[in-house]
Structure 1
Amino acid sequence: MFHALIPVDDDERRAIEQVETVRSLPGGPDEKSATILHVIEEIETPPDEAGPTLIEDLNESLPELQGLPDSVITAERRLEDAGIETDRQQMVGDTARSILQTAAETDADAIVLGARKRTPVGKALFGSVSQKVIRETDRTVIVGR
């Protein structure tokens, strides 16, 4: 069974493109499975009188406070409608690190990323989750478009 990790952000169009990429891979739906991952960026603040416990508590409650974006629900429904076995994970933390960790934990055969339109200058200034994942993983990375 081919297992894909699909890290989904809040962009529904990009999530659909990622799902369609998985659906288009060789093999029938019964030969594929997918984990949909949604990562919420962790809140980082310098320690103050409130102490780190307040921030740690807030970070732990972020998934419940924010709920699931439509992009995650859409991706999950489209995969299930296609007959592809699907599970979902939500994490709080660094996006690239969370993707790499989940890929290892789920033993994903490939990581299916969504492409963003960014200028070369934008990539150089702000970095890129995709670039970091591609550089640091030993798994196949597919960039859907």
Structure 2
Amino acid sequence: MYHVLIPVDTDEQRVTAQIETLRSLPADPDDLTVTVLHVLEEIDTMPDEGGATFIEELNESLSEIRDVPDTVSLVEERLEADGIEVDRAELVGDAADGITQVASDVDADAILLGGRKRSPVGKALFGSVSQQVIIDADRPVIIAD
């Protein structure tokens, strides 16, 4: 069984590219397991005297306040239709740290990130989250184009 972590955001084109990249891997769908991850970024502000506790409480309840983006269900539905076993993870925190932590927690064999469209010059650079995951990950990172 080959386990892939697919962190998704709200961009449907990026998610579609991730799905197509997964489908192009040299593995039988019956031998794939996917964890779809959505990371909610913490609210990070400089609160006034009484606001620190409020911000902490708000961050703790973000997953209850915010809806999971439609892209999470989109990935789940398409991959399940392909016969791929899918589960879901969600957390609140820093995206890059969360991705590498969940990859470790679920013992993913690879992380499949969605790349952003860039100019020819910009293709040498990754987004800040992608770059940090590539640097910090202790497993292969695949960038969908």
Structure 1-normalised TM-score? 0.90
Structure 2: how far apart are the matches of 1:114 and 1:2? 19
**Structure-2 residue corresponding to 1:75:** 75
Matched, 1:57 2:57: yes
CA RMSD for the aligned pairs?
1.9
> What whole-Å deviation, never above 9, does each CA across 1:100-128 have from its counterpart, x for those lacking one?
1001101110000001124667x98x961
Task: Supply the distance in 1 between the matched residues of 2:36 and 2:63 (Cα, whole angstroms).
Answer: 15
Work out the number of aligned pairs and report it. Answer: 143
Contact 2:116/2:127 (8 A) holds in 1: no
Over 3 Å off, 4+ runs: 118-121
User: Structure 2 matches for 1:1-145, cutoff 5 A?
Assistant: 1-118=1-118, 128-145=128-145
- State the SS of the aligned residue for 2:5: strand
Q: Which shows bigger deviation, 38-47 or 4-13?
A: 38-47
Equivalent residue of 1:3, what SS?
strand
What is the percent sequence identity of the aligned residues? 57
**Unaligned runs of at least 5 residues, structure 2:** none
Shift of 1:62: 1.3
Q: TM-score, normalised by structure 2?
A: 0.90
- Tell me by how many angstroms 1:138 deviates: 1.5
62-71 or 103-112, which deviates more: 62-71
